[in-house]
Amino acid sequence: MSVPPQLRLFGVFLKVGILNELEYRVNFYVQLLQSAVGLVIGLAGLGVVFSHTDTLGGWSPNELLALLGIYFLVQGAVQLVIEPSMQRFMEDVRQGTLDFTLTKPEDSQLLVSVGQVQIWKLVNVLLGLAVLGVALSRLQTAVGPGEALAFGVALLAGGVIVYSFYFFLATTAFWFVRVENVLVIFQSMYQAGRWPVGIYPWWLRSALTFIVPVAFATTVPAEAIAGRLSPGTLLLALAVAAAMLAGSRWFWGVGVRRYSGASA
């Protein structure tokens, strides 16, 4: 059994990222501290809310803890590779150094997507898993194999959706001068994902589901754990994931053609 080349490429970038980051040891401690503070604030936020109420929009404290874990997990994964890679890509477009990437004998979308790794963000991934684990152990109702499978599928679909969305936004760098700020749209909308999207007014809920797909990344997997996920929603998540992945790939092709045309 051989490792797929895509994964191997990611592995190489991961290693480079680790070596590079080890030179900045302060960052490691800062990240530890930062993740700890993030955790404290997340838990404290839940704590403050539940010091004034018992349920929030039908969610129990432990279910929201699971949601918080998923929130950290997805955020960590995004910050680990997607966000730094997209930022690097945009900078490359601005500085004209994208040429180096485009002349490499490897799929350019893949290269761009894993081009930069912020290794310490792994801490957030682990943190998310830990919080999720604690939440699961405290949930009154046991999570059966069906729910676990649904959770896995929903999380995977959510990850693909988030990646595609990010990548789609980043690709607009081919047209606009400074789009780093576009990524902030995701980050800012994503903070809404710390809470179940059901509590938001209809217009915001729609935006969080279909414009900036935060709901699929956080609320839907959490619903699977809470045993409230309908098969229809899961199918919808899968369909959206497939469509967005295909769409981002198509859009990337358009962008690269434009870039080549403009710089030639």
Q: Cβ of residue 27: shortest distance to another protein, in angstroms? A: 5
CA angle 66–68–71, rounded 5-degree value: 115
Residue among 33 and 235 whose Cβ is closer to another protein: 33
Q: 215 CB contacts (<8 Å, ≥6 apart)?
A: 193, 197, 205, 208, 209
Q: Cβ of residue 207: shortest distance to another protein, in angstroms? A: 10
Residue among 2 and 202 whose Cβ is closer to another protein: 202
CB 107 within 8 A of CB 77: no
DSSP label of 79: I
Q: Cβ of residue 44: shortest distance to another protein, in angstroms? A: 7
Q: Cβ of residue 55: shortest distance to another protein, in angstroms? A: 6
Q: How far is CA 141 from CA 88, 93, 98, 149, 166, in A?
A: 44, 50, 51, 16, 35
Residue among 11 and 146 whose Cβ is closer to another protein: 11
Q: 178 CB contacts (<8 Å, ≥6 apart)?
A: 94
Residue among 108 and 200 whose Cβ is closer to another protein: 200
**Interface residues with another protein (CB under 8 A)?**
15, 18-19, 22-28, 30-31, 33-34, 37-38, 41, 44-45, 47-49, 51-57, 176-179, 181-182, 184-185, 187-189, 191-192, 194-195, 199-201, 203-204
